[in-house]
Amino acid sequence: MKSMLMSLVAAATLLAGCASTDTVTRNADVRGLSLATRGELLAQPATIVMAAAYDVRDVKVSVPRTLKVSEANVYFPLADVVWRGEPLGDRYLQVESMFDEALFRATGPMKSGRPAVVEVEVTRFHGVTEKTRYSVGGVYSLRFNLTVRDADTGLIIDGPRVVVADTKASGGAKALHEEQMGLTQRVVVVNRLAEVLRRELSVPVTDPMLLGAADTLGTAAVPAALR
Q: Where are the domains of the chain?
A: 2-48+206-226, 54-202
pLDDT at 49: 76
pLDDT at 29: 46
Give pLDDT tens digits for 168-185.
Answer: 999 999 999 999 999 999
Per DSSP, the residues of 79-98 read SSEE--SS-SS-HHHHHHHH
Q: What is the C-alpha separation between 52 and 106, in angstroms, rounded?
A: 10
pLDDT at 45: 61
pLDDT at 3: 46
Residue 122: name the closest of 97, 157, 154 by CA: 97
Does 227 have pLDDT greater than 70? no
**Mean pLDDT of the 185-213 span:** 82
Taking all residues of the chain, what is their mean pLDDT, rounded to a whole number? 80
Does 79 have pLDDT greater than 60? yes
Give pLDDT tens digits for 185-194.
Answer: 999 999 999 9
Contacts of 209 (CB under 8 A, 6+ apart): 8, 9, 11, 12, 15, 28, 30, 41, 44
Residue 107: name the closest of 126, 120, 93, 92 by CA: 120
Give pLDDT tens digits for 90-148.
Answer: 999 999 999 999 999 999 999 989 999 999 999 999 999 999 999 999 999 999 999 99
Percent of the chain with pLDDT over 70: 70
The CATH class that applies to domain 54-202 reads: alpha beta
**Mean pLDDT of the 29-36 span:** 54
More confident residue, 194 or 10: 194
**Mean pLDDT of the 60-69 span:** 98
